[in-house]
Structure 1
Amino acid sequence: MPFSFPGLSPALARAASASGFAAPTPIQAEAIPVILRGADLLASAQTGSGKTAAFALPLLQHLLDGPQHTPRRVRALVLVPTRELAAQVSEVLRSLAQHLAQPPRVAVVFGGVSINPQMMGLRGGADVVVATPGRLLDLVGQNALRLQSVGLLVLDEADRLLDLGFADELARVLALLPAQRQNLFFSATFAPAVQALAASLLRDPVHVEVAATPANEPAILQRVIQVDAGRRTQLLRHLVQQHHWERVLVFVATKYAAELVADKLYKASVFATAFHGDLSQGARRQVLDEFKAKRWDVVVTTDLASRGIDIAQLPVVVNYDLPRSAVDYVHRIGRTGRAGESGLAISFVSAGTEAHFRLIEKRQGLSLPREQIAEFEPTEAAAPPAPGTGGIKGKRPSKKDKLRAAAARSA
């Protein structure tokens, strides 16, 4: 069997095959043996690399190897930054666990919804909990669960956990855990904050970093289309209708823009809807389910959907607004071209955002040709950068520039 790792039970190897995992991805091939032998792990891999299964399979093996508690006590904890990622991780765990003779109980808890159903769901205990930090602390405070028996901790997207300001809540959760446990950190980047946290928590960790190579890099065609900022919605509608795209994920900068662009498209006979953090959890779940079922042609979203959302065979991603960073660019376009499929990622670049996109290209080692679409050729010209700003982060002079100017005037 493809997932026949030393220490992984035949039942879990069969579960992996039954769940559609054809062969181990590079991150799975490197991480699973490390986790199975009980070592701490600090792992990094590109988006869409299969990291969830990389920790899910050995996590379930950890539960199988340990004593069976009655009533159940939490023996494995997975901390994630968003509701969507929590739901996705729990789905993978449950999909694999259903093929076992005695499936462990998986609980998923996150904020933004009523806490009462989650408290009721934990009355029978749970073997593994997938949680966002804030809601987990709420449930601990309500005595709905205890964490003294956790033997395996997973921080999924550790960089994102810290980016979103969970550092204090994360510290409070870690203080509730037993000192003797196995720790697994999965992070897209090894930012200084992640390295500092890893240094304080991990014991002689094994470092696994799977870099993108021609063999494992997603087959994503990246295109850059020049267009005036005010004509992006018209161009987007033109492309969707001309190419008969059935599903397009469009990234914008704000929740307001998501609603505005989706509304304009819908009024222009394109089945489009918005997806952002102000929607209720039920509404967000409904949008994703309907999008996966091809009931929406276009979903216009903020960076909420740039991580932790797996939409099989998503053909097209559009950067209507450019991302703030090169890392966010990678995560956005990584929503397409997953699981061996090919994908298309389009970025709209205007005169005002050309310099910013050049910075993204530089940091990603890219050099993409600029395209223009007939009848949508740009007419705006880029304004010259203000002195001292470098032309990247805006036209306003920095504080140092202002001090220099004041000194020059007083001289």
Structure 2
Amino acid sequence: MSDPLQLQLDTVFRNASRQVFASLARALRDLDLAEDAMQESFAAATIQWPHEGIPENPVAWLVTAGRRKAVDVIRRREKLKEISSEVAQRLHQVAQTNASRAATEIEDDRLRLIFTCCHPAIDLKVQVPLTLREVCGLTTEEIARAFLTTPATMAQRIVRGKAKIRDARIPFVIPSITELPERLDAVLTVIYLIFNEGYSASSGDSITRADLSGEAIRLCRLVLELLEDAEVMGLLALMLLHESRRETRQTDEGDIVLLEDQDRSRWDRSLIDEGRRLVERSLASRRFGFYTIQAAISAVHAEAPTAKATDWNQIVALYDILLRIESSAVIELNRAVAVAMWDGPAAGLQLIEVILDRGDLLDYSLAHAARGELLRRAGRHADAIEALETALSLTGQSTEQRFLAKKLQKLKSS
């Protein structure tokens, strides 16, 4: 295969593989079979596309090829002469789908798969990891890191979830309006985690993955069309406000640029304006919660012409509200940083020490990085170096490692 064609195929796989998987999962109602079929469809593309050219709609081509491959997979698994009536019926359904499925229907399949993975019949501890694995294609190791557990434990949860979908025959459909509320919290949690992985990647050479954050925003828009809920608005607003800063978060060389050092003239004002309108709508409903308050904090940052002009007092007050909604050591840490910006580094340091002394966030690199920065600002350079070295040892993100290493080098040479 020529290099340009290989690059195009790689791009299709990177951008559309989970969409292809979601469509196959809905058609086949078997996640493992859908994974096999997706891999085989891409293998077929590497053989056929160099001769036939890349189709006008690559995703539709791959989905159709995957369904055909699934029939072959099922036939290989089951001797055709001994095939059970259930498998025979599935073969018939897949064949019918191949003939009638329209490419335009593929668009919402990832949302259907999210609702399937977040079905009430599936253990709450399993829903989110299962969705991150099957819908977003995150590795078991990446998910385990996000949940602070071992890959082996996480793999067991994911296997249990897939088995539950298969054995309970959970439908691959978007639930009715009456069923949506009980599924909404899990779905929003999943979308939020997808965005976070895209906005601050847990590993790799870049701090961002635009494909994941863009998909999270798209999915949240679809959910808002289904249910005009205040927290759906809040989550969408939060993601849009963060996304508005994407282009300023790294230098051309890939180094991290802190919020206070970003070129605010390059922030995407259209995303900020849309996010602010959504925040206002959500707050006006008086039914807002966790996501809306976070979005309101982001809106305060977006409104400030400079970091120095930020209304840190208002941000601290919003964090106080957020902590009443959901007690979290990470939220406490963010509040401590805001307090430091308002009352000085000593005040923020005192709050961070309380968090770490009680045993929270000891393995969280950003907690030690924040402490190190406040120690530096307080003039305690030796303590700052120790804290930043701890942060460096805890992060697996290469851009964060470079950022911390440069900060340490500068501190040690001062």
TM range (shorter): under 0.3
Higher relative contact order (CA 8 A, sep 6+): 1
TM-score under structure 1 normalisation?
0.26
